[in-house]
Homo-oligomer: A and B are copies of this chain.
Amino acid sequence: MTTANAPARREPGRQDWSSWPHYDAAATGFKGYWYPVTWTSKVTGKPSAFTIAGEKIALVRDGGKTYALHDRCPHRGVPLSLGNQQFPGTISCPYHGWTYDLESGKLCAVITDGPGSPICGKVTVRTYPTAQRLGMTWVYIPLGDEEPADIDAQLPAELAENPFVMGGRIEPRSGNWRFAAENGFDEGHAKYLHRTSLWRIFKTMPTWNITRVVPGEGVNRRWIFRVQDEVHWEADFPGVGHWSNKRWWKIRPPKETFNIGNTGKPKRVDPVIERQGFPGFASLAMPGILRIAYPNFIHYEFYVPVDAGRHRYVGVMVNFTEGFQALRFYVKYLGAIRWLFHGDFSAQDAWMVDVTDAPPERLYRPDVSLTAWRKLAEDEYSRRIASS
């Protein structure tokens, strides 16, 4: 006899994330990392509210500095981001004027209890280290009470060492940040899902590849790289049919396999990018930073956890140039890249991230990119909590 309420049948093969227990538990993000929150130009004297890795945070600028505080007045739980500045270097809760020092988070005055208020100095709201990089304000979400990690050690090394110009988008998105990170580094979907994007309208996408994932070296030792050993532009699937993304209007695909760009062997590679010696087109680092090396620019994605069901997508396109060339990049970015790549193309990813529902899951050969990333996350985070 079978019953009407039998559980969903599990097929053989990997179904869950138990091999990566820290990763499995990190639905709201890993703590102990820096996260980009918003464009620095949007942080003003009027506080703004964000949730990053499950923490409610109020951002406020004062005297040219940016401060991040836990967005909850300990008195009665009112968000401090609803308040404003009554004194320089402070923020006051809108309800009773509890006033906190922006630097230390200490309650330094209680307007409605007078200068002798006995509670002053006895209450502190948590503050978070902030930094400015890539035109954005970053916040460090600590594991415990440790000093913040070096933000530059967390960022791609090539950005610290070379002048560049950039354009980008920050978007709140649905779906867990891990699906966004996995999607970003995912070998398999790019060729198939994005074959219909406007960004690829004249470029043939491969049908299938043979891919390895290798660890980075030197300044890239925190990264893993996807290396394409074979690129196949068409295929005959036995008993099913022929499949190719080749079309008469698309540029003919190249003969050689390549690891910069993914639609053709480039004539010229930007010297800064060439100098990096990236072993592969796509690379990924904790806590969710993707790097895609095109011949003339690098695209970065930062997957910023909000809560278990939402993340912030930060997409940045960088061109290692200066002076008049910078203007050329801005024209190209605003005229095309922003709409085609950070818009239409990236919206296909956002769609899949939103509907992905795993585990359970059944992995296939190209998912080596997913399992390598999960292992990277697990190993790096294990070391981090061991040393904290």
Contact = CB atoms under 8 A, between A and B. Distances in A.
Contact of A208 (B3, B112, B232, B366): B112
A12 to B, nearest CB: 8
A188 interface: yes
A282 to B, nearest CB: 15
Contact of A5 (B25, B109, B355, B363): B25
A117 B2 contact: no
A277 interface: no
Interface in A230-244: 232, 235-241, 243
A191 to B, nearest CB: 6
B189 A95 contact: yes
B361 A75 contact: yes
Interface in A337-388: 352, 355-358, 360-366, 385-386, 388
Contacts of A3: 143-144, 385
Contacts of A241: 86-88, 109
A238 B121 CA distance: 12
Identical chains bound together, number? 3
A118 interface: yes
A94 interface: yes
A143 B238 CA distance: 34
Nearest to A99: B240
A145 to B, nearest CB: 7
Nearest to A97: B192
28 contacts: A1-B388, A2-B143, A2-B144, A2-B145, A2-B388, A3-B143, A4-B25, A4-B32, A11-B74, A11-B123, A74-B361, A76-B361, A77-B357, A77-B358, A78-B357, A79-B355, A86-B243, A94-B352, A95-B352, A95-B356, A96-B366, A111-B192, A112-B187, A112-B189, A113-B188, A113-B208, A114-B210, A119-B365
